[in-house]
Amino acid sequence: MVLLVYVSLKDARSKLYELLAANLIILQEIPKSSDHSATRCIYVWGAQTEGVINRICLELMFTIGNLKSRLTSEQAENNILLERIELDSQQSIFLTDKEKQQLDHWFQIQEHLQSAILYLANELLTLYFF
């Protein structure tokens, strides 16, 4: 699939240099004269597909690792409340309104982080195997 986009020269130049800095594309300078003046050069941009896919896969793995670390740290912060819930299921202890709000917030964070991990893992598998 080819996607064509019309952008200004300034935007295109900045995006190309961002991609170059991230090592996702390569640049070759072809001089029109022997002095290599920037105004008299042609710049050819290209990408090595396999290298780009490997780089993106590494970035996805790094991001998934960060999300898992965040999930672990969030769970550690709410560990006392989670332990209290286990006690509540065994005994007839009730949670306060503040604890219920905190628990709801934890479940929202947990759901959001887990769905992001699953989404990125799916993208990683798609890139890696296709």
Q: What is the largest CA-CA distance in the chain?
A: 86
pLDDT for the residue 93: 63
pLDDT for the residue 83: 79
The DSSP line for 75-95 is HHHTHHHHHHHHHHHHS----
* Average pLDDT for runs of 10 along the chain of length 130: 80 90 88 82 87 90 97 90 72 73 90 97 89
pLDDT for the residue 67: 97
pTM of the shown model? 0.69
The DSSP line for 20-40 is HHTTSSEEEEEESSTT--GGG
pLDDT for the residue 90: 60
Count helices and strands in the chain by DSSP H and E runs: 4, 2
Bridge partners of 29, per DSSP, are 43
